[in-house]
């Protein structure tokens, strides 16, 4: 894979690729008014969008702001459907294609063939290994304070431009990155935001793995853990990581960050993990129940079909199958 992106924009800007992005973007949203209206003239709209991107006149629209309550209150900024097609196209054509291969093997969020299941299993496997070689060891668990809200847009663009050398693509990325107000913060509702967030924190991943030489380090979005032999080593690493985050990325760790003995197990990806057991945390169970109630309400309102809602439920079942949650699974499986 090329180290930099040059002369690729027009190669991937095709009617077929934009149509594919539309078909993927509308999954689970076919009952939404804006999707229904787009579907009525989809060929015409895709051609128009193609021309806008081709000649550089595409402008990102505004956002519809609302709040969700699960698993905690969050502000969501939803872009117009046309913009969501562009987001999908740019992620699939460029960001996933050229950036993901640079990520460390133990970064798991929003990466094909990784995710929460693999993260939790890899952590448990490593805990068994550390138990064998060290017997007792220490865990440094880190969580970034208000991560999406504190991503600096200028720093993000500088990171992107180290790899993206094509002017058309740089300008389009700038339109997306700066599409919401403020010097900091990415819209949680954008499809681009998660890959941008991963690209941003890949900076600290590379620092921890290659400069600090930490062998046992795992990250799922803004939640990360590392295993070391002594408490002294954990304390020293924590100070270096704090300094790097503050100086290079303008981020801070929150009060959930702590150092503790390995015999306590670790909370990661919604599981309580030790060398011998994976247990779904009570907080995770509550969040799943809240999500299922929301899906049922969406079906009842006509905003989502039973088939689409059941697809989301099956995703939760995949998440739960590694823990002892049979009773919970039976309660959640069907949506009528």
Q: Which residue has the tokens 């040059």?
A: 6
Q: Fill in the DSSP letter of residue 245.
A: I
Q: What is the pTM of this model?
A: 0.85
Residue 255 has pLDDT above 60, yes or no: yes
Residue 332 has pLDDT above 60, yes or no: no
- Contact yes or no for 114/221 (Cβ under 8 A): no
The model's confidence at residue 335, banded by pLDDT at 50, 70 and 90, is: very low
The CA-atom distances, in angstroms, between 210 and each of 204, 239, 240 are 10, 17, 13
CATH class of the domain at 115-148+195-277: alpha beta
- Contact yes or no for 261/117 (Cβ under 8 A): no
Tens of pLDDT, residue by residue over 133-192, are 999 999 999 999 999 999 999 999 999 999 999 999 999 999 999 999 999 999 998 999
Q: How far is it, in rounded angstroms, from Cα 281 to Cα 195? A: 26
The model's confidence at residue 233, banded by pLDDT at 50, 70 and 90, is: very high
Our CA angle for 181, 187, 189, nearest 5°, is 145
Look at residue 83 in the predicted model and tell me its pLDDT: 98
């Amino acid at each position: 894979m090329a180290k930099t992106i040059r002369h690729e924009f027009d190669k991937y800007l095709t009617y077929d690729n934009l149509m594919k992005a539309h078909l993927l973007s509308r999954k689970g949203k076919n009952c939404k008014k804006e999707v229904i209206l787009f579907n009525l003239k989809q060929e015409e709209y895709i051609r128009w969008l193609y021309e806008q991107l081709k000649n550089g006149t595409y402008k990102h629209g505004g956002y519809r702001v609302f709040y969700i309550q699960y698993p905690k209150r969050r502000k969501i900024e939803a872009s117009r459907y046309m913009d969501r097609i562009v987001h999908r196209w740019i992620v699939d054509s460029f960001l996933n294609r050229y950036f993901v291969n640079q990520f460390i093997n133990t970064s798991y969020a929003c990466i094909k063939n990784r995710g929460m299941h693999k993260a939790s299993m890899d952590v448990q496997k490593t805990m068994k290994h550390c138990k064998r070689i060290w017997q007792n060891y220490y865990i440094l668990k880190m969580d970034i304070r208000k991560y999406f809200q504190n991503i600096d847009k200028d720093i993000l663009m500088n990171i992107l431009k180290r790899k993206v050398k094509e002017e058309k693509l740089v300008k389009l990325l700038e339109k997306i990155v700066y599409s919401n107000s403020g010097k900091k913060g990415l819209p949680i509702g954008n499809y681009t935001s998660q890959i941008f967030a991963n690209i941003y924190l890949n900076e600290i991943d590379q620092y921890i793995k290659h400069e600090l030489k930490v062998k046992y380090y795992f990250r799922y979005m803004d939640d990360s853990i590392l295993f070391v032999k002594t408490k002294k080593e954990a304390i020293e690493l924590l100070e270096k990581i704090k300094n790097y985050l503050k100086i290079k990325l303008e981020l801070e760790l929150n009060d959930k960050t702590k150092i503790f003995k390995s015999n306590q197990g670790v909370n990661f990806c919604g599981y309580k993990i030790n060398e011998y057991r994976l247990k779904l945390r009570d907080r995770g169970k509550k969040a799943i129940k809240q999500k299922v109630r929301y899906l049922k309400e969406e079906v009842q309102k006509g905003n989502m079909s039973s088939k689409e809602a059941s697809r989301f439920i099956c995703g939760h079942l995949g998440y739960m199958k590694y823990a002892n949650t049979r009773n919970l699974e039976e309660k959640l499986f069907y949506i009528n």
